[in-house]
Chains A and B, each alone.
Chain A
Amino acid sequence: MFLEPAQLTASGRPVLQPGEVEVSLLDKVEIEFNPVGGVAGHQSHAYKNGYAILTNRRVIWVNADGAGAGGSGGADASAPRAAGLPLSALAASNKRVQYGIKGSKVRLVLDVYTNGQRQPVPTWGFHTNIDQVSLRCRGPAPDAFKSLLDEHAKQAVAAGSSSTSSSGAAGGAGVGGGYTAGPAGATQPGAAGAAAGSGPAGAGANSYMSPLTAGLQARHPPPLAGPGGGAGAGQGLAAGVSASGLPPPPPPPQHHLAQSRPPPPHSQQAAPQPDPALLQSMVEMGFPRNRCARSLLAVKNEGVQEALDYMLAFGDQPGMDDPLEATLSTTASHSLGAAAGSGGGGGWGQQQQPQQQMYGAGGAGGGASMRYPSVMPEGYPPPPPPPSQPPYPGGGYPGAAPLNPYGPVPPPPYFPSAYVAGGVSSAPGGSPQHPHGAGAPAAHLTAAMGSLALARGQTPHHHHGSAPDLSSSAAAGEAGRPAIGVAGIMMREQQKTEQSGRAVEQAFKDLSALMASAASMVALAEKFRGVLAAGAEAGAAAGGAGGGAGGEDPLLLDLETQQQLIALGISSPVTRETAGARYHTELSRQLADFLEGPLQRCGGMVSLPDVYCLFNRARGTELVSPDDLLQAAKVFSKAGVQGLRLRQLSSGVMVIQGPQHSEERVCTKIAELTSLPSSASAAPPPSQPAPPPPLGPGVTAGDVAVALGGISTVIAAEHLLLAEARGVVVRDDGPEGLRFYRNFFKQDRLEPGSMASYCRAAGGSGPGAGLAAG
């Protein structure tokens, strides 16, 4: 089974996606595959010697063997640096303990959904196998880790599934294509699921797409309305198939299609009433009247037997006993709402439709894509009650949407609306183009479906019948707003401001409200930051240097620093909860990653109190105490951090210095500064012995400070002393102060005996004079 390689930062911490946060860490974990698996290119039976990090999206295994890519020179494929497994592909996790003589072996066995190529796929996608991978825990017990894992896996799956259901458009496109892929019943639901799953899961980039789907999408624009495809999906799934391939609503019951009976006339749609004769006979059997009426509507008055089956299946749904008349009048508006909702779902989203109506149509798409093939085991999440019982015509209808566990459940009465919506949208492409947006996606939808079986017998009059209502409701929705011109823009801006004001009031009512609307608040806050920035600039320009004229504090962190802090903000700080036994190691790695920016700005040296302030600011409320910071800084080398070092200067000041201040670099640089220029003296006349090479430039602390890029003279002096101790330079303590020259003793290979002649030959140049005399 294949895992994805996970990226690591320079110091060995995992690179997190936006919105991903670390939750826990388990030390001393090995991954064991059955039989072989892992990251492509590093296939092996097991990856040893690592630790596992749980985030809210993935489980990441990190190799603890340091940063070397080659690892231990082993001949076999060495383990990669890090591997990741998405939580949404998890079916189950079990803890297994194996007792033996040498002690017990604890394993956390994960069941993962995989596809044909043995790659993990999300739960709502199409999978062919369930593979197992086990984490052998040699360190602490994995119980807490497992419970957190289960919790976050559930959330990840729920989040992924709900996004699937709400993005009816993508689902519709994918599902529609999936159905053309083939009529085989067994694979169709899977294909539907796969295409639907791949749509939202890939955020628009379909990772799995059959050639037919691709062709279909190429021919027709992707934002198809949900209900068409969804309804078709519901249909296909239910019966394992219609030979007509893509059967958007209104679908006749499956078994009827198989008998090649023509689709029932849609004249019934114009007057959705239960057949009184059938209704009477059902009531005489002793069933509640409203329930019978709804069941008859659901089966479109096919017959008593079908209605009874439907009632038995769905009679317990809430709302089944509501009187039908109340909904009949609203059915029309529901249908319009659904159609408009489908328009919204198709990406035109101009209208604010109530959520239910959206789901009436989109729910169908969602319901379809939520439909799991019956091979789905009881794992994450519990599958919906199987809708695909062939005798139930109700199951064949998009109204099987009530079974959607992931979206709001529209009660059965809504399904006629979807049905009707399907009727509206599936009208032949020759329908007049409506100026309102909802008409357009309907046209798209019909164009898409036009080539396939469907639209026979569609009653243009029905379409026309509903169209004016559609446009009128649409117009009514926007009554009283000038939609065009500058006035329109200004009014929209004002509305937006009012909306955000109300949102702010609402959100801060209490903590849970804030948590629910956190994402929108973040967006609002970023907008405000732009306002603040503009205000600060204006203030600075108008108010002169540093004055508080702009209304903002000159002593607040200046804008640049603030922006940098925002950019450097650590969204997933290492705490004792998330890192457990490896707290100091992970903390020092996070510190090293964080310090790259500040070190560059400060010339390679930052004092520890400054680090304390910047690091804590980036972490937000998760403070790290000064002692923990000191400890983390001390274990840089042990944690595998390259280049950073904690250094104590002679006055007791502690700094963290970057790689450009390492001893080797410093000495090299100083040697460069004091070295002779390459164009040496002219060739000496052959009769005389070669004159000694000149002394070369002398450097002081000031020169070194400038050359090493913005360090202070005190540090430069310390560096020079360091270089002198290493024998790179020699000092000259003269009347001009302390200067340093290249170590000509070593380089010119002077002997004590030849010293005097050397100095005389050097012509008594400044330093040489002292030597000659002394």
Chain B
Amino acid sequence: MHEQLSAFRSNLEEFARKYRADVRRDPVFRAQFHTMCANIGVDPLASNKSLWAAALGFGDYYYELGVQVVEACLASRSLNGGMMELPALLRAVNRRRGGAAEPVSEDDVVRAIKKLRVLGGGFDLLAIGGRSYVRSVPGELNLDKNRALEAAQARGYTWVAELSAAAGWTAGRSDETLQALTREGLAWVDDGAADGVRLYWFPCLSGAGGSAAEEQAAAAVGAVESSPVPG
């Protein structure tokens, strides 16, 4: 059964590559072909670069490659939070394209990402410390911070190691998230802990949704401590 599956798959890839134009012409067959590809996991968009596309940079090839790049990022987002190293991305894309198509180079991927610029700034290449990363999730849509807030809710503070353990992230990712929260003003840095580990406090969590009673208590404290500061 599995040999049949791989035979089916390789045949389908071959067809997807050779007969693209013909498949597109008949809409009923096209729908069936896509269903076949989707069920087997064959990528119908894996075509080869034509000479003109390479030289002049147009044609469908880079748009298709763009789709495949974004898909690879989507698939791995749960693992790496939206930041993916370029070599890893290259490997993923080549695997998805299957054996029949030519392998893609880094330059092709960079070009494809450039063509996606018109869709807004969410998807771009970053160079950090000499390595290139592809960031697919813009800061605004990054839900890592929410996760950090969740993790910190128990005690009102957290630190990098604990966040990594609770959320299953790498240390770098946790560190990045906590620093971003600090930049936004939602977190405070505390370097005075006993073991030297930097703690991050979340005042918004401790005072969130204060009821009237809580306000009164705070007021009592405030009345005692605060002295009207002019200006």
List residues of chain A with CB under 8 Å of any chain B CB: 19, 21-23, 56, 497, 500-501, 504, 508, 511, 514-515, 518-519, 521-522, 524-526, 528-529, 531-532, 546, 553, 555-558, 561-562, 565-566, 569, 571-572, 578, 603, 605, 607-610, 612-614, 616-617, 620-623, 625-627, 629-630, 648-649, 651-655, 677, 681, 694-695, 697-703, 705-706, 710-715, 717-718, 736-739, 763-766, 769, 772-773
Contacts and interface: CB of A to CB of B under 8 A. Distances in A.
Pairs of residues from A and B, 10 with the lowest C-beta to C-beta distance, nearest first: A654-B120, A613-B70, A620-B34, A652-B121, A21-B27, A700-B204, A525-B39, A529-B39, A508-B11, A608-B119
Given A572-B27, A765-B215, A653 B121 contact: yes
A555 B40 contact: no
Given A525-B36, A736-B203, A609 B208 contact: no
B104 interface: no
A518 B33 contact: yes
Query: Interface size for chain B: under 10, 10 to 19, 20 to 34, or 35 or more residues?
Result: 35 or more
A122 to B, nearest CB: 19
Given A617-B71, A655-B141, 10 more contacts: A508-B11, A525-B35, A558-B75, A565-B38, A571-B35, A572-B31, A706-B146, A706-B149, A712-B142, A713-B181
Contact of A705 (B29, B120, B146, B230): B146
Contacts of A623: 45, 60, 63-64, 67
B146 A497 contact: no
A538 B122 CA distance: 36
B139 A714 contact: yes
B46 to A, nearest CB: 10
Contacts of A739: 204
Interface string B92-111: 10011000000000000000
Contact of A511 (B19, B31, B141, B226): B19
A653 B31 contact: no
Interface in B1-30: 1-2, 4-5, 7-8, 11-12, 14-16, 19-20, 22-24, 26-30
Contacts, number: 278
B145 A712 contact: yes
B206 to A, nearest CB: 9
Interface of B: 1-2, 4-5, 7-8, 11-12, 14-16, 19-20, 22-24, 26-41, 44-45, 60, 63-64, 66-67, 70-72, 74-76, 79, 92, 95-96, 115-116, 118-123, 136-143, 145-146, 149, 181, 184-186, 202-205, 207-212, 215-216, 218-219, 222-223, 226, 228-230
Contacts of A497: 1, 4
24 contacts: A21-B27, A501-B4, A515-B29, A521-B36, A528-B4, A562-B38, A571-B34, A571-B35, A607-B137, A613-B74, A620-B30, A621-B16, A621-B24, A630-B118, A655-B120, A697-B210, A710-B143, A710-B146, A713-B145, A713-B149, A713-B184, A736-B207, A764-B223, A772-B228
Contact of A703 (B32, B145, B209): B209
Nearest to A535: B2
A66 B8 CA distance: 46
A712 B140 contact: yes
Nearest to B116: A609
Scoring B4, B145, B228, B230 by chain A CB atoms within 10 A of each residue's CB, the highest score goes to: B4
A765 B29 contact: no
B31 A21 contact: yes
A504 to B, nearest CB: 6
Contact of B208 (A21, A700, A765): A700
Contact of B219 (A514, A653, A766): A766
